Structure 1
Amino acid sequence: MVTLNELHEFAVEQAIEVDPRDRSRIEEILDERSEEYEDLEGVRKDSYDLNRLENPYDDSKVLYAGDREVEKVAVGIDIETQDLLLIDRLNEKGHEITGAIAHHPEGRGLANLHEVMKMQVETLEQVGVSISQAEAIVRGRVDEVRRGVHSGNHPRSVQTAELLDIPYACFHTLADNHVNSYLERYVEEEDPDRISDLIDVLLDIPEYEWALDYDLGPTIFNGKKKNRVGKVSYDMTGGTELSKDRLEKMAQSGVNTIIAMHMSKDQIKEAKKQNINVVAAGHISSDSVGLNLLLDKMVDKFGIDVVELSGFKRVSRL
């Protein structure tokens, strides 16, 4: 048996293994947090989230009852109040679900979504954007997201889990790091020449093939099928998308194609201006890829059972 806290600790370590940043950079961030914590006093120190001293992913948290053992876990892309009620109803019918893991952040994880966006400084630098430009681009968007999430009803789903007594966590960047690393390795190995070839390569991945059942398969948001793929940037981790300002700098650094989960209208407009191909692999299907890669490790180590719901498609690669 394994507790939800132990699952989370294992998942954090696995996410660090496939993080696009060097481990030394992550250790530097954790050291900075330790120093920050030591300087706090009073209520600010008492309410500090001590998990931040060991977990660099502020959008991935144990939200309730982490010390409880879990054996059969419901996993969903979004697990909110209605989904927790569904889990409770399933348990009334004898399913014996002992915990719930959401992908998208809830509670404290959503309130701190902006913090994980800072990792995109390094991912931009890796495709050739200068560090000073990357920091400026990320800083502005981090502030925008921080203000945007501040007004949310973050206790809502956590209180529901407490009332229903369902151990509850969210694994966001923990999974996104996995799909980002996997696609980078997979696409480079397949080496598609044209955008049409890239689409075919993505459709060989079961989760993207499954998305076709809902007419949500990989889609060209900008560019033509016959366009060459060229230098690729992977937009799969780091909390949420940056501002459109990044695209000019990426084009200047030689990026030809972006593979993203999704992309907003303003960003697509800017991609057209910069002549960058954009392939939207699919949001929910990409989330499923990342979750599955992480779950395979957890199932292999701890033998947990997984119940899929809320848009998640379980595909085992074991």
Structure 2
Amino acid sequence: MNTEEIMEIALNLSGQKEIPYDSEIYVHGENIKRVLFGIDISTSELILAQKMKCDCVIAHHPLGNNAVLNFYKVIDKHAEIMIKNGIPEEKAYKSIENLKQRLKIANHSRNYTHLPLIAEKMKMPLMNIHNPLDEIGRRIMQETVDKAKPERVKDVVDALYTLPEFQRALTEIEIVIGDEEGDAKKTVIAHGAGTNGGYDIAKTYFEYGFCVVYIHINMNDYLKLKKEKGNLIVSGHIASDSVGINPFIKALEEEGIEVVRISGIYC
């Protein structure tokens, strides 16, 4: 199996036809039988993979080049999810403007060739698969919540805890804004769109009566959202990523690929 075929497995599982902006093959590889797979990859993991005689390294998060520089474009998926949930298109796209601009401006400070060039010098095949796996996880989480038909915020938490990744996590699913008895008849898993939607996207969902699930949130956005009326659940970054990663690993193993798990990936 080669790197392109591995990427194709992820795309097929996620229902995507093209490689998203935040995913990339940095160093092509052929005859891949053993991979080292981690949520985050650095030079040390490349060296470890070489010592463990792995044929390829797969990261979840973007590592450089176009996957980093074009990451901001994936934020459009937040607007797409909002529109599917009945939020007007103009309002949805307005809600993502600040986040997209902040991420785009940050590109000027990026050393975007750092790790890809190291992998190239080591002749170590390297790729990252981000949005396809997040989309798999978002879909599983949303279907799990929808099937539970939650009435209250606590019902959403209980539903998510039926997934093994959350049962094994060291972090807890937490209601960070609102109340466990709050209305959760309309709940959205705001995931699979690059990163969490921050203040603006959650605020828009609140305005339309949604209970929101983020996988993480920063302190500034949290403090601003506390002043708004709504319910926000944080499910945990690594556990939530694993919900989408594990089905992909299973598919690789079914193809005869040995997967060495590292850097946050749960067995």
Q: TM-score, with normalisation over the residues of structure 1?
A: 0.78
Does structure 1 conserve the Cα–Cα contact (< 8 Å) formed by 2:23 and 2:128?
A: yes
Match of 1:125 in 2: 83
Unaligned runs of 5+ in 1: 18-53
Pairwise CA distance, 1:313: 1.0
What is the alpha-carbon distance in structure 2 between the residues aligned to residue 55 and residue 126 of structure 1? 21
Aligned partner of 1:174 among 127, 132, 142: 132
Q: Secondary structure at the match of 1:70?
A: coil
Aligned to 1:293: 247
Deviations 1:163-191 (CA, angstroms, capped at 9, x unpaired): 22211100000100001111111111122
| One-letter identity of the residue aligned with 1:284 | I
Which of the residues 135, 154, 172 maps onto 1:196? 154
- Deviation >4 Å, runs of 4+: none
The equivalences for 1:141-290 within 5 A come to 141-212=99-170, 216-255=171-210, 257-290=211-244
Given candidates 58, 82, 98, the residue that maps to 2:55 is 98
Alignment-derived partner of residue 21 in structure 2: 58
CA contact (8 A) 1:137 1:243 kept: no
Secondary structure of 2:227's counterpart equals helix
Partner in structure 2 of residue 313 of structure 1: 266
The C-alpha deviation readout for 1:99-119, integer Å capped at 9, x for no partner, is: 111000111211211111112
Kept in 2: contact 1:180–1:236 (CA 8 A) = yes
In structure 2, what is the Cα distance between the partners aligned to 1:84 and 1:299?
A: 21
RMSD: 1.9
User: Compared with structure 1, are the counterparts of its residues 197 and 242 closer, same or farther at alpha carbon in structure 2 (3 Å cutoff)?
Assistant: closer
1:267 Cα offset (Å): 2.6
Q: TM-score, normalised by structure 2?
A: 0.92
SS of 1:244's partner is helix
Return 5+ residue gaps in structure 2 as ranges: none
Q: Which has the larger radius of gyration?
A: 1
Conserved? CA contact 2:76–2:193, under 8 Å? yes
Shift of 1:126: 2.0
Tell me if structure 2 keeps the 8 A contact 1:104–1:172: yes
In structure 2, what is the Cα distance between the partners aligned to 1:240 and 1:293? Answer: 21
Cα 1:298–1:150 change in 2 (3 A) is farther
Q: Percent identity?
A: 26
CA distance in 2, matches of 1:196, 1:119: 27
Separation in 2, partners of 1:306, 1:249: 40
